[in-house]
Amino acid sequence: MKLYPLFIMLCLVTVSNCFAAEKTTLRIGIQAGGTVEWELSALPAESADFKIEVHPVATAEAGKIALQSGAVDMIVSDWIWVSGLRAQGEDFTFYPYSSTAGALVVPANSPIQSVKDLSGKRLGIAGGELDKNWLLLQALAQKDSLDLNKTVEKTFGAPPLISEQLKQNRVDAALTYWHFAARLEAAGYRQIIDGRGILKGLGIEENVPSLGYVFKQSWAASHTAAVNGFFKASSAAKKQLCTDDSAWQKVIPLTKADDAATQNLLRQRYCNGGVEQWGDKEQQAAARIYTLLKAASNSQLTGKSDTLQTGTFWSGQ
């Protein structure tokens, strides 16, 4: 009888002696058809540290609400939003996912060859007045003393609407999200500049992620092994989709693209967004982008904080 209490004591000291440790469930909010869905579909079926519970969200804003309410543990969003939350006392933080941003697209026979040629033209803009691609494009144009707000006829709308406006010749150019731009390019439209090109034009050479996984820092501190395991698995899944044709074939239905040209360009753009380096140089470049966006939006996008908030980027690895 004296051995029984000893057995219990050993179990308390090391659970693995008696029972299999329970995996941490990661509740991730995702939009149907997005690249996060592609990546999650390519994750290994089994993981030692975590299991995924997918929570569909209708829009990016719905994902933010789900995260803030505690309905999910993690979403993909941008670090500008995270910095704004931290300025309000929240402890959300960001881990890089993709550096692929938007692109400026025109018809193949368009006379527009550069940003300067937008003057006097009709421009369709995916999102609203505070869309980051639009703000940064304005900053780039200002280097050539061009005020796009005054010199172009602007149309704002959801990405599908902007694509249709371009196809129906109701706008002369479209500044839209990368996957909508890729679909247009595959259909014969021409890219003038992409998000990375805009940043280079503004003097930022570093590859800065535009999107990342967002979650509570306090939550991650309590589930470090699971969170690190997930990020490692996510990176491996992305590399597999970019190097293994059989793996890519499995996610083609999720792209909702019927032709090979669109499928291939979506894959190329997705893979170009891989974040290979994420350190002090990239984070300092992000701080410079923050300053640019603050000025371009007159603080409407960034909020009152003059600088990117400490802790915006997760350092828990």
pLDDT digits (tens, 9 = 90+) for 267-315: 999 999 999 899 999 999 999 999 999 999 999 999 989 999 999 999 8
- Structure tokens belonging to residue 40: 């999650």
The contacts of residue 192 (CB under 8 Å, 6+ apart) are 103, 104, 105, 106, 112, 113, 114, 115, 173
Looking at every residue in the chain, the average pLDDT score rounds to: 91
- Structure tokens belonging to residue 313: 């980027």
pLDDT digits (tens, 9 = 90+) for 173-194: 999 999 999 999 999 999 999 9
Distance CA 54, CA 217 (A): 20
CATH of 103-201, one of 3.20.20.10, 3.40.190.10, 3.20.20.210, 3.40.50.2000: 3.40.190.10
The yes-or-no answer to whether 24-99+208-296 and 103-201 have a common fold is yes
| Strand duo 122-126 + 103-106: pairing | unpaired
Q: State the pLDDT at residue 176.
A: 98
Distance CA 210, CA 45 (A): 28
pLDDT digits (tens, 9 = 90+) for 102-160: 999 999 999 999 999 999 999 999 999 999 999 999 999 999 999 999 999 999 999 99
| Structural domain spans, the chain | 24-99+208-296, 103-201
For 284, other C-beta atoms within 10 Å of its C-beta total: 13
* Residue 41, φ and ψ in degrees, nearest 5: -70, -20
Q: Counting every residue, how long is the chain?
A: 317
| Strand duo 190-194 + 103-106: pairing | antiparallel
Sign of CA dihedral 304, 67, 45, 247: negative
Q: State the pLDDT at residue 9.
A: 40
Indicate the CATH number for domain 24-99+208-296.
3.40.190.10
